[in-house]
Amino acid sequence: MHSYPWDQATATGVGSHPGEDHVEALRTVFGELPMPYLPELPARGVGADMIGRTASLLVELAVEVQPSGWRMADRPGRDHKRARDHLLRDLDALEEVAQGYTGPLKIQICGPWTLVGAIELRYGDKVLADAGAVRDVTDSLAEGLAAHIADVRKRVPGASLVVQVDEPGLPGVLAGTVPTASGFSRLAPVEGPLAAARLGQVLSAAEFPIVHCCAPSVPFEVLRTAGAKGISLDASLMRRRDEDVLGAAIEAGIAFFLGVVPGTDSRLPDVGVVAKPALELWRRLGFRPEGLAHQVVLTPACGLAGASPAYAKAALAKCRESARVLREDPEEE
């Protein structure tokens, strides 16, 4: 049996939350989940978004906001400081809310390929267009993530850290569909081995890294080669033609964080319906049922930033309740 830093029948969230009250968001995730996480609240504005928040971790590289979005800067300015301040306030609140906590704890950052596909160079195109700049940003992000992990460990010493690297932009990077800064053309596709090598450099900073990709066409082989110990995806996007590679990943011990409830307000189904995608996948692939509750973690389909606070809390609770179904024998369902 493979070893994971969580117990059987575990649930967690993807990352983002509605509203601007970071303390209340933390209390919600610690109150509702067996695997709490550090929520992101993009409604707070500049620097609380996924790109700005992660860019604030970069070592010796700075960013600023322009009308077109985030751009590399000569030195840290107001926008960079605002992003850093949001993160530090969240970490201070985490330290307070998690006092005495022991168990799994998840933190999230934006992955290197999504980051370089979103940030522009100072004078020119996206960072993705410049191989040297991609290398520099990746090096800086790996160093910044290592420092961030050390800080979280110091603040919550009883936590077993799971580090989620968000790569919604990776399928587009591999397919060559990322638009240039002008929007009139597309940047050249990146080869799978290079994509895996750069992503792996960032993943290597974490003891238990997982990669989240809520886009269609999740590049399972690239993620596995990069060293991901878990893959987080929207269960509704799993395709039958992916099942060979899914089966190989499960056999190799890779954990799956399956998004099984909508990320925006809707009617939540009962626990049997929520758990069904995991149960059916396990049954179709012929794996022993006792491994299911260890290797599969239930989550919402994506972030909860577009939901109401009440729905966000209910969705997390539904994931927690549905995860208990995974302990039962799928053959009895």
What is the domain partition of the chain in residue ranges? Answer: 45-228
**Res 333: pLDDT:** 40
**Res 1: pLDDT:** 59
**Res 124: pLDDT:** 81
Q: Are 232 and 274 in contact (CB under 8 A)?
A: no
Residue 15 CB-half CA count within 13 A: 26
Question: pTM for the full model?
Answer: 0.96
**Res 241: pLDDT:** 80
* d(C-alpha 319, C-alpha 170), whole Å: 26
Q: What is the mean pLDDT of each run of 10 residues along the chain (333 residues)?
A: 90 97 97 98 95 96 93 94 96 98 98 97 93 98 98 98 98 96 91 98 98 92 97 90 89 96 96 94 88 96 96 98 83 44
**Res 332: pLDDT:** 45
Q: What is the dihedral of CA 302, 106, 54, 230, to 10 degrees?
A: -70
Write the DSSP assignment of 187-233 as a string of letters: PPPPPHHHHHHHHHHHHTTSSSEEEE--SSS--HHHHHHHT-SEEEE
